[in-house]
């Protein structure tokens, strides 16, 4: 076994690999760029080596710098994680020349399977069913249109070296093919250093299901069940689960055997994933093979009890697989939510900045429910524009799918992040979505259910009751404490007002304090309007970020953020501003004029912090609705900004190459 390995990655996956290596008694070496000098993976490793500027193309993607770091530290092997150099066959070949072991599949397998064009040809030769498409390299937008029309719309344009949803576009007509071809090539070149793209038929209403395979260097290979990854946004996975609610044992076996046939054909000798697009009728077609560890590997680990990183390390060291196919048992259900630095209320645009507050739920395993948080950040870490926007992966495991989803919903309520925008409210809402809970999934799920984007859920009667009760318990306790601070002129006499009004955004909720006295722990009997009373209990004290307790018979965890005159409460996808008022103040408050936001309808604002790639119009130019105005790049994704209506450009305030803050004015219209 190795005594020291280098982890050629950053963030969450670098921390994940380091944890297993430490458990195995192996010393670890981290590498870091200028942007990551204070990163968690650097702190966790035994040693760390600086490898260059923040841009990945000048640091994490430079193989020579990784090799030099190995020589400098005496690392015997390299684990690449995912992304960066993990699927470049030239990297393990270069390592081998230096006598350094590659913790991953052999270069031949990477070359055959890692390239999406070549892998489809290989799958055809191995009699694996594939999606109809054109596997040759496409030279021009016009060529792309001819191919798409021959295949039949809709089509998927994909980067050959792509992954993570980058370099992928769905096109429904010739115009979208031309634009998608240009964008996919550009994204592929900047993200992977390879601008080749191909086109295949897009299967409508499909599901994305993948099989985890594991092989060694002695000809043994097994599959570890499947993962359902159909909840995607812009081809980027958001929620994964294992097993899939679609598959039965027979379909699982057929998919597993096809995946193994493909793996054996290239002598696959590490952890890898064979991805399939599946129809609702359980038909399936080979999509691609990822010759690396997947982001969503934890759900497989939790249902099988197998540490995939450990298996990769042992296989790379020459050990024989200690498991046979009969040893693989799927126990319970696991769900993973990807916590992204993005604003769900602004079309999920990237968000960067410092994590002023980062308080994930506690990891736990009570023998029935497991909560796991794979992360690469701590409070105070900076989310950079140079890398992927993922903050963490929250995973829950329970005996049944419903219990795993409930555990995830509870854990998300306790995932407290401030300083940047994030998708926790969206994930929480998804966990409570009836269609998700029923297992009726498709890759179009988010587009189908949120066609106009995501907005804070409007509380129903139960939610209003819970949030009003929590707000009253906090407001009464804070007033009690303020009244008895030293130096107060008139502390109250001891009697507590019974009638209150809780303003939740623009809704006024009458509430009565029936019994109890404000204090810590909280224990009050309250009633909404003239309804029956119920008990509110919690250990909350002013200043704490989470209110965790019971409202009636329901366990509740509410995120609390102080705002002027009250609190912002976040719970179960609901987000409201709560203000505790006396009935008279509530009457007067309803008479106050509403302050309206400024009119920005005649401006194009930068929707996220990013780099201006191009400006497509000039001052004085007339543009039509839908016409391209500018392209802004953020976190390795190019975002095309289009005109929402017919108008004339009166001023252009930005130029290509500018780095803009969110809401910076790019141009003005008349």
Domain boundaries for CATH 3.30.1490.20 within the chain: 132-201
The matching CATH number, chosen from 3.40.50.300, 1.10.10.10, 3.40.50.620, 3.40.50.20, for 4-103 is 3.40.50.20
In the chain, residues under CATH classification 3.30.470.20 are 338-431
Per-residue confidence (pLDDT) for residue 386, from 0 to 100: 85
Please give the average per-residue pLDDT across 346-350, as a whole number. Answer: 83
Q: What architecture is the 338-431 domain classified under in CATH? A: 2-Layer Sandwich (3.30)
Which CATH code of 2.60.40.10, 1.10.1520.10, 2.40.50.100, 3.30.1490.20 fits the domain covering 603-669? 2.40.50.100
Higher pLDDT, 643 or 608: 643
Other C-beta atoms closer than 10 Å to the C-beta of 102 total 20
- Bigger pLDDT: 2 vs 494: 2
Q: Tens digits of per-residue pLDDT, 437-484? A: 999 999 999 999 999 889 888 899 999 999 999 999 999 998 888 777
As a whole number, mean pLDDT of residues 374-402 equals 94
Q: What is the mean pLDDT of residues 104-127?
A: 84
d(C-alpha 15, C-alpha 572), whole Å = 29
The token pair that represents 130 in the structure block:
């594939």
640 contact partners, CB below 8 Å, separation of at least 6:
179, 183, 628, 630, 631
pLDDT value at residue 201? 84
Beta bridge partners of 5: 28, 77
**Active-site annotation holds for 480:** no
Structural class in CATH, domain 461-589:
alpha beta
CB 176 within 8 A of CB 169: yes
CATH of domain 132-201: 3.30.1490.20
pLDDT greater than 70 at residue 492 = no
Q: Which of 390-394, 476-480, 559-563, 616-620 has the lowest mean pLDDT?
A: 476-480
Q: Which position among 76, 187, 275, 288 bears the catalytic label? A: 288
The β-bridge relationship of strands 101-102 and 77-79 is parallel
What does the pLDDT average to over 588-599?
A: 87
Q: What is the pLDDT of residue 625?
A: 87
Output 376 or 350, whichever has higher pLDDT: 376
Q: Give the residues across from 425 on adjacent strands.
A: none
Does residue 489 have a pLDDT over 70? no
Q: Judge whether residue 600 has pLDDT over 70.
A: yes
Angle between helices 63-73 and 90-97 (to 10 degrees): 30
- Domain span(s) for CATH 3.40.50.20 in the chain: 4-103
Range 493-515 average pLDDT: 90
Render pLDDT for 527-539 as a digit per residue (tens, 0 to 9): 999 999 999 999 9
Burial class (CB in 10 A: 0-12, 13-18, 19+), 300: buried
Q: What is the pLDDT of residues 170-197, one digit of tens each?
A: 999 999 999 999 989 888 887 778 888 8
Mean pLDDT of 310-328: 97
Calculate what percentage of the chain has a pLDDT beyond 90: 74
* CATH 3.30.700.30 domain locations along the chain: 461-589
């Amino acid at each position: 076994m190795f005594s020291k390995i280098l982890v050629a990655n950053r963030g969450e996956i670098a921390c994940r690999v380091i944890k297993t290596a430490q458990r195995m008694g192996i010393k670890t070496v981290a590498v870091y760029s200028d942007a990551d000098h204070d990163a968690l993976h650097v702190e966790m490793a035994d040693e760390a080596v600086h490898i260059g500027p923040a841009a990945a193309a000048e640091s994490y993607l430079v193989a020579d710098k990784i090799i030099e770091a190995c020589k400098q530290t005496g690392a015997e092997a390299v684990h690449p994680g995912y992304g960066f150099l993990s699927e470049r066959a030239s990297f393990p070949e270069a390592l081998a020349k230096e006598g350094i072991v590659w913790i991953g599949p052999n270069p031949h397998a990477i070359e055959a399977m890692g390239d999406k064009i070549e892998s489809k040809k290989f799958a055809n030769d191995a009699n694996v069913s594939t999606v109809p498409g054109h596997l040759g390299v496409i030279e021009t937008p016009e060529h792309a249109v001819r191919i798409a029309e021959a295949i039949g719309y809709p089509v998927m344009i994909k980067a050959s070296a792509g992954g993570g949803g980058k370099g992928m576009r769905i096109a429904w007509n010739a115009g979208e093919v031309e634009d998608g071809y240009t964008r996919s090539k550009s994204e592929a070149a900047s993200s992977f250093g390879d601008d080749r793209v191909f086109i295949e038929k897009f299967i409508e209403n499909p599901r994305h299901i993948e099989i985890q395979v594991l092989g060694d260097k002695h000809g043994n290979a097994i599959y570890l069940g499947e993962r359902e990854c159909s909840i995607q946004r812009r081809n980027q996975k958001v929620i994964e689960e294992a097993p899939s609610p679609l598959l039965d044992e027979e379909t699982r076996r057929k998919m597993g055997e096809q995946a193994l046939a493909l793996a054996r054909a290239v002598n696959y000798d590490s952890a890898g994933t064979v991805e399939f697009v599946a129809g609702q009728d359980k038909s399936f077609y080979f999509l691609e093979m990822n010759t690396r560890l997947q982001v969503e590997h934890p759900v497989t680990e939790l249902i099988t009890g197998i540490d995939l990183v450990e298996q990769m390390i042992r296989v790379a060291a020459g050990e024989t697989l200690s498991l046979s196919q009969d040893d693989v048992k799927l126990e319970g259900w696991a769900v993973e939510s990807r916590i992204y630095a993005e604003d769900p209320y602004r079309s999920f645009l990237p968000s960067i900045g410092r994590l002023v507050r980062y308080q994930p739920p506690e990891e736990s395993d009570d023998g029935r429910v497991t909560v796991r948080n794979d992360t690469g950040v701590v409070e105070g870490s900076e989310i950079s524009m140079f890398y992927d926007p993922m903050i963490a992966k929250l995973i829950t495991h329970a005996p049944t799918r419903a219990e795993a989803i409930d555990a995830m919903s509870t854990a998300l309520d306790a995932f407290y992040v401030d300083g940047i925008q994030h998708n926790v409210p969206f994930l929480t809402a998804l966990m409570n979505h009836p269609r998700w809970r029923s297992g009726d999934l498709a890759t179009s799920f988010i587009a189908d259910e949120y066609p106009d984007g995501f907005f804070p859920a409007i509380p129903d009667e139960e939610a209003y009751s819970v949030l009003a009760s929590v707000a009253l318990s906090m407001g009464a306790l804070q007033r009690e404490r303020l009244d008895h601070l030293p130096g107060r002129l008139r502390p109250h006499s001891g009697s507590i007002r019974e009638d209150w009004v809780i303003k939740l955004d623009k809704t006024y909720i009458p509430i009565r304090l029936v019994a109890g006295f404000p204090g810590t722990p909280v224990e009050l009997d309250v009633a909404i309007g003239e309804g029956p009373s119920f008990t509110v209990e919690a250990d909350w004290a002013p200043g704490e970020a989470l209110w965790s307790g019971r409202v009636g018979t329901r366990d509740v965890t509410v995120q609390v953020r102080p705002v002027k005159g009250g609190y912002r409460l976040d719970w179960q996808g609901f987000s409201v501003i709560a203000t505790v008022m006396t009935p008279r103040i509530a009457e007067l408050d309803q008479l106050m004029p509403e302050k309206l936001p400024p009119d920005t309808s005649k401006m194009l604002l930068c929707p996220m912090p990013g780099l201006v790639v191009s400006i497509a119009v000039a001052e004085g130019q007339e543009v039509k609705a839908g016409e391209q105005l500018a392209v802004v790049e953020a976190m390795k994704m190019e975002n095309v900004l289009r005109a929402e209506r017919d108008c004339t450009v009166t001023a252009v305030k930005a130029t290509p190459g500018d780095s803009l803050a969110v809401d910076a004015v790019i141009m003005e219209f008349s």
